[in-house]
Each structure stands twice: as structure tokens, then as C-alpha cells.
Structure 1
């Protein structure tokens, strides 16, 4: 699926940089430092919010389209599975399947991860779309609360102690629209607010209606509040799980977090300023959310067949009917049975009917020579309306009259013989070791045998697969990557196995990821941060499993490698003043592709110390200098202060000033050199840092 379309009037696109949780080569979790604000996507002109468990979609912020008619479609694999139409209000807001909003038309779609929600407007020539994110809450568990005793200042009704609430869920590490830096876990409970606490009850320590946890916290948006509540969150691609844990210190906070609403909120990754927010709400009930709206697919009546093979042997008093199960609405309940009826005879209202769980039936006890209309109803827990399959003259022979809608069908096979070869056989493979096989239902068949052979002697050959009718699909597993197979399907019944149909299929070979670009390299203190474009899979069977960032020093020592799953990362533990060349490698299993370095990007950089001046004062009558500051490198590091604004030159104020263990340094000097009229000093460090500061005259 391609990237969502965006209107021409959107603000310029930019990469969203952020840290992420990833697995190292040893399997342990690593959290990289953030390069931009995490957890809060930048503002945009319009947003599509998808509440997938509730089948709800909300449009907000489309003020430029206020008053226009909006059409919202839910698509899966390019096919529309839900559609709704409504008018945006004056603020550019519209919602579907929520009280006060619009209903979906015909069916309330079951929105699943990977589904696309697309919106178009009556007065605009553009569409916006968002992809439903994969994170899904699966469990909320409380540890129980252990009381430990109160403080003297606590109210009498407070119960202090410790308890944890853990929210667990799943996600797809290969989801191209999931960005750990744009994901939050939230617990929402209006009672967890001081203003909402009834008189006499403990308000707890937290005053937060919504308590969020980020996979990538930063200084502005940390996880928890010191002394009030704590929180952690991790994403593990190896187990495909996300886990967020709240630690609460009062019984009131613990109860309210456990009893609140628990949500996974994922902003769609990519370059859009703000488009696409999926909120998966654990406590919500799936399906229609307002009275009068259409049911979900599993509440819809089935689609009945419209054509069938009708036959009546010469001189018989029965009609043989065989049909195929038609495609059903997406996510609809499967068809489990049919009712087939023959209506006609000497009295037009005469009806003979049979029920079956298969796709063929014999209607017996009819009048020879009489004409009957054949009807069928499908059942999936609900009955469909009766559908006419056409008419047939009883006892007319295998070439008798059959006139179903669409021009008629050929008579079916003799029910006393083995079935014929299945028609419509197709075999496809989008994997390294399996193939999907499908065919058209064969009249009279009670089962099918699917086999695979290969002329390649090194290719693994799976055991035959037996499929019971009415199923007409099978999956062959355990195949060899890159091998070509001949697939055969033969239908059978109580009279034996009929002739086979064949098709060929080749499994895919593992292919390295497609080319991608390194877009930014930024050196820091003992570290290098990088951004790159996402690598596309080499083929559908070779998804990109992650990236390696490799920092190679120019002095010949061993490179430093870290793993990443997104498109940003940081290599730490480097040596200042040593030149490194940074490369990014995309991985798909054991195949790899090295990222291209455009001419505009310099990937050979040198980590350096960072020096700041926090105080710079000069007293003229005593030529006294009082200067202090910080350095990030505190290991055997020194700073050197000179006059002027050219780093490393000028009259010496003081050299070899040691940097303390906490990173601070101080100069307190009398009878120093005369301060120049520019009032400028420059500071350098042994670790390669440079800065210039302005002196302040105190007298």
C-alpha cells in the first residue's frame, strides 16, 4: 500500500526525528536518545482519527472544508469495506458511528490494522488518507496494592504504599506506519482529578485525568512525575509486544488507574505534519455505537448464490442442484448452510425443499414433465432472502431446460460417477516456503486432494493435503525457497477420485532490501545521531527486519554497531576527537543493503566535548576574573581560557583548569591580563570543545 495522498496546500513535509526502543544483536532492549520531541506530533491542518475497536472515524481540523460534504471510505487491500457521507461543521469536524455523528451506509465496517481510511470532499480536488496502526491492547492487569504506612502530613483517609498496573498489547514490527516516537499509552479516568474527588475521599497524589506513557520520553514529556507516580514502556519486536507499567503510591491512584480506560494511541509515521491517529481502546465494545446504524459484518445476512447447475435425468422425478459459495462481505460470518426449494408442479404453490451444509442437493418426489422454479437461501446465523436460480423441467434428461439468471448453465455431472477435474485452478506464492491454492467448486465433490511435485531434486516436497467440501482453498507449506512446483488438485466423492487439474507456482527467493538514503548525520558528545529513509522490501517475502548503525573509527580500532528498527538512531560510547565514518545497513534476514550517502550528506564526523560558560565577570581595579562553566567530558579533561574571540589563540587568562567529576570547572584569578575592549574570551577543552563568551564588567 502506498503512502497516503496529501493536499497541495499542506505545509512543507519534513522528517519526524525521534528515538526508539530496539533490540540489540544479543536480544536485549536498548533505548536510543531522542533527537526531537517525542510523543507529541506537530500540528497540522487536518487529522483523521481512527477508533478501530469502535468502528468509529472522526475528522477534525478541516476548517478550510467546513460546510462541504465529506465521503469517508474504509479500504482493505484496495477494496472498499465501508463508506459514509456527512457534512463538516463550522470547525471542520465530522464523525461516524458515534452519537451525534453519521452512520456508515449499509454496513458498519470492522476496522482492522492495515486498513486505509480515505476522505474526499465535495468542493476540493484532493483526498487525505490514514492507515490504521497495528498496536492493540490485549490485557490490563493490576498487581494488587501493598500498604506501607502514611506520612505525618497525610490526610487520615490516605493509604500509602505501592501497586502497579500493567497494560500489555501487540504490534507489528514491520508496520511501516508505526513510529515508536509517535506512540503513547494512556489511562483516562475523570475521577483522577482533584476537582472531581468527592468530599471525604482521598484525592491521591496524581492530579491527571489522562496519564500518558511514551515509548520515547523526553525532558518535556517524561514518564510519570517524581514522587507522585512512575511509569515505563518498552516495545520488543522479537515478541511483537508493547508493555507499559504504572507504579502508583496511594490506594486511590492505584484504583483509579486500574479502573480507568486504557488506550494505545499511535500517530501515523512518515512525513505528514499530522495525519492519522489510531486509538485502540481496551474497554470499548466493538461494533455500532449508536441506535439505528447498520450492523457490523457479522450481523449481516449472507449473500446467496445467483447461479447454479440444474439437471434432471431422463424419466426421473428429481432435480440435482449444485452451486458455488459466493464471496461474502469482508469480516462477515461464514455461510454454514443453505435451503434449496423447487416450486411448481400441478399447483404453482407446491414446494419441495431440502437443507444442506454442502454445495449440492437432490430434490426428490417431483412431478415428471412439470416445470419448477429452483430457489436458494443462505444461512450464517441469519437467513438471506430467497434467490431464484432459474427453472427446470423434471425428467427432461441431462440436456433439459435450465434458465437461471445470466443466460443458463450446463447440466451437472451424473451423480452416480466420480466428479470431474476442478476448474479455475490457481496457485500463487508470496513467501519463501508456502503457496496458496484455489479452485472452483466441483459439482458432486465431497472432498479434494492437493499435491505438489518438483523437477528440482533439491526441493522439499510436502505431503498431500486433503480438503473437505465445500472448501475450495488450501495452503501448501514446507516448500523450498526459489523452487518451481507443479500443483495438482483432484476432486472425489463416494464413487472415487476424478481427474486432476494442474498449475505451476514458484516460491520467492530472499532478496536484500531496496536502496535507501542516509539523510542526516549529527555528531555529539561521545555519540553520533543519524536519520535515513526507510528501505523498501526486496520482494513481498523479504520484509525489512531492521537496521544496523556502524561507526568505524579512522584510527583502525573496532567499529561500534547498534541496531535500530525505525529510521533514526544514535551510536553512543564513542571517543571524542576521533573521526568516525557512519554507515547504515538495512537487513532482511541474512541479506543486507548499505545505505547510499548523497553528496549533500557528510557521514565522516568527529564526536566532541561540549563546553558552556555559565559565569564570566571581570573587576577592572584588581584585574580579577571570575569564570565558571561546564564540560560534558569529565574524565581527565581540562579547559583553557584566553582573551579574544578566536578559539585557541589570544593572551592567556588561565590554562589547564581541571574539569570536576560533575562536569563543572571554575577560574578565580587576580592580577590577570587587561580585558580588551571587545570583552570577549574563548574557551577550549582537551576533548576538542570550543566556545566564545562575553565578559561582564562588575566595576
Structure 2
């Protein structure tokens, strides 16, 4: 899949003004990304067959693609056609699985880019810099003014008013729409015009002023999209009037303006042998994405009587030395990150009581720590260090550049705290110097020189057994047996000439995959191999072809009364037509006399069919409505009906209710 060209995307869509570049392609419909920046809400549509997978979404800002939001979202298919949602009830929160500075609900803005990594493939969708400015009513006309820059053509803009109460008016559906080439719909007329280089105007004229007031009580929207694929829109941004951003449900993190100050990470300290000085180290605090940057650090030592010794350090600092300490006292060490005048919650270095590791040691303790023998494992090129002391476990600091690990009785500034085996790299000999410090400041030094060797590659994983390809509607389902030690499986699709039909993808441990986006009646070769850390397995292959796709219409409402017959439904496609026929409870077609017939042409049809149109976001897929009045409604409740799409898809039987 190549990058979309500027011609494909339309002027101003590859790089939004002042925004991040769209470096990866949009998904291919029916896969799609729909962004609601005013609510910091996102819907990812399509991507069928990825149950139990996890997708990563990032919000990128500026030409440097700064990540200001991130989450790992389970692909849980909350409703038909939707893979997952973010910051919406039933969906994932922003910040899940993200590092500390990104545990925040991002303030999504025009010019940002939403990056989606799913099934091993990366997609980008830019956020259009659009917003609803105002809405007003005069008589039967509602006027909505929206901010839309001139480089977004009106052909890629649509105005909508969302109002469920429209269903009880002449409009007969839950929204009214305005497009540059449209004239409205049942119960209203509409227009969309540009009134300046920065604004557009949508006008909706209803049959009466009461309906206009009903519209004014709804939600005005303006939407734009990056491109069209066929008749469908891809890369959609929907701006909503007077919607509020921030966490969309309980338990989600606050926005950047309300997030807590960032605290520094792990902190350690080491006292000098005379216990009058203390070296304190910390890992830098992560800035809250979109929030105020860390401006410095405050380090405070408090003795049991509440006396304080402290220092302020710059934002770039990761260590300081406190002097003038009382050798006879223990101290609690706190490190805080500062954002201007605001301070973070404290990070306690060492034990919360302030007692140095090992119980504190008393002045006069001269017993040095004992170093264990350095253990080098040539199979992994890892060096393990250890040390013991009579007053507790000492801290070990080390260097790998040949320089000393200690500066007399304190760790050298370039020395690292030992927390895990050290991996030696390269092919030349490496000298590791290390020093163990106890709580009293006694130090013992050691050194190890070793030459990293070539680590033998692990044996490849076995090929998956019993790989089976099954044709399903518009796709191919793959199933296989588990491979010992495999944590994931890589699925590849090849054309007849051996070229890749789509990028390879990972199944995140699942032993099944449904491959979509294939050309019907075409044979493909499917390859599956196990994957583990640092290991790739032998591939198993099988040939298969996607089944013929048919849509799945669903009747959601059917009400009849004398002179008025209303039918509504949904579909997993957004084009075509649906025709409604009389049926029995088992779904068999009936003619006007109630007799079972086998041919569709012989069944009693209601109306002349109705078009399937795109549902109003955040709903996905398509919807259809048919309303028959007077003689066309018939003289009796038909009982049951079924919907049959033009592609042959058929709904389950639905009982018609009276009203």
C-alpha cells in the first residue's frame, strides 16, 4: 500500500497548516478513522476479524510529530462495523499502556494527526482545522456558521444538525444535512456556501418555525474528510458545537490543563563516609503531554526533628549533592518536579522513613562491603554483579568506558546504578569498573574485562500445523494449530506472482485470522509463521479465495397503522438499495394472500425499495427508512417482513407492531 498522493487527498490535506505530516496512508474502506476533536473522541471502523488484538493510537502534533496523546485499545467490536472507540462509554481511555507523561486525555486540535497501528500496519488520519462558530434561527430557517479554511473545498465539507426529535416531524429522521450540491431532503431544504476565506454557512429551511426551534435545540456539526474511496468518505473529522473535551467517561485521565504535576521517576542516594554529604540521583520527570514543561527540581533532606536541607536544580539536572548534614542523623529525601510555581507530589528516595538502606549504619562503621565474583554468561553476553555487607545490601555503581565508578567515597557522576545484568556489546574487550557502597559510605571497588562473543541464534520455531483457509463473505478465514514457544503469528498474503498482496500482520497470539480487503474470485497464497522474542518460525502456506460479499440488512423498527406504515433499519454497507417483503415468522416469503412463495418476484413488496445511506456519526455503517402513507400503507398489519438488499443480503424476519 503506497502513500496517497496530494492529488488523491486534495489540496491542503497532506500537511495541514502548522500541523504534523500525514506520513502513512489512510485505511482502505470499509476500514476508517473518524475523529471528534471537540470531545477528544475517536472511532475506528471496520478491521473485521481481529478479535483479541490490541491497537495503538497516537496523537501527533507539529512538524516534529510530538506525541501528545497515546493509548493501547483492545479491538472489542462494541457494535456492528466498529472495531473500537477511544474516550467514549464502552471504549478505551486515553493513556492506557502509555508512559507517564502520556497518561492524559489529549486536547485534540486541528492540524494534529491520529496515527493508528493495528494488525501490524500503520495508518495516519489528519485532523481538519474546522469548528462550528454559531447557530441561529429566524422563522423556519436555521443558519449555522462554521470555521473552514479555504484550502478545504466545499466538496469535502458537510453540515449537519443532529436531533433525534426530528423523527416526530416532517423530517422523519434524526438529522438534517447541508452539502454544496444538495437541496435538502424530506421536510426541509438546505444549502452550503462559502461566505469568506475562513467560514462557510449552512442554511436549513424547515416546513415551520416549530421544527426550526427543534433543530436549534439539537447539535450543529460541520464535517470534513480527506478523500473519497468510491462513494464513501475516508479520514473524517467531525466538529460539534458547544461540546466539551477532556475525559469522556469515569476513570479516564484528566486533560493536560487539569493533569497533576509530573513526578520524577526512580531516585537513589548515597552518603559520604563522614556522613556530612549525600549524593541524590533521579530519572527525569516526563512532561505531561500538552501541559507546562518541567522547569526544575527541588531536593529536600529532612531529619527526624523536621530540620530541612535542600537545593533547587535545573530542568536538565539528574543529580545533586547535599552538604552540611549532621553525621548522627538519618534523613528522609524528597525529590519534586517543578512547573513554574507548582510542585509535583514528592518522590521519596530510599525508605519512606528516610533511613538509609541497610538500617543507616552508624558513624564509625568501617566494615567495607564484600564484592561477589563477577559472572559473565557468554551465551547472552551479560555480566552479573553482586555485593554483601554486614549492615544490609549495598548499592553498586558501574561504568563500561574504563573510567572509575567511584569518586573517593561517592559514586562517579557518570556511573550507573546497577539494577540488572549488564549486556556487553561490540567485538573488542570491554572493561567494567564497579563500586559497592554501604549505608555508612564505605566503598569496595572491582573490575572485570571481557570480550563479547557471537551469541548463537536460537533454533527457528516449527511451522504451524493444520493451516486451513475458509472462504467467508468478502474475506478468507485462516485457522491453525499452536506452535510451541510462539507468542504471536505473522500472516502474509501473496498474489499469484509471489508479490505481497498486503503488508504482513501479527495476530497477537491468536490462532485465527480473517483477511479482508481482497479481490473477489481471486486466488491468494496465505503464509503463517510463529514469532517469539528474537525468533521467527518456518512458514506454513495454503491457497484460498474470498467468498462473495453480501451485506447484512437488519430491520430495527416496523410499525403499522391504518394509512401509515414506517420501516427503519441498518446495514453494514452504506450504498445500494433495500426492498421490504412480507414474510412469516420463519422468514419464508408470502404473497399478498399470505401464501408461501419461493421467488422474490412473487412476494408482496412494500413500496418500491429504499436507498441505504451512511449513518450519522458516531453511528457507523448504513441505515434505511421507508414510510408509506394512505393506500400505499395497506389495510392490514402484514405481520412479519424481511429486508432484501440488491446484493442478495437478507435480514431475519421482523414482526410489525401496531400503533
TM-score class, shorter-chain normalisation, is: 0.3 to 0.5
Give TM-score scaled by structure 1 length. 0.38
Give TM-score scaled by structure 2 length. 0.40
Considering only CA atoms, is the larger Rg found in Structure 1 or Structure 2?
1
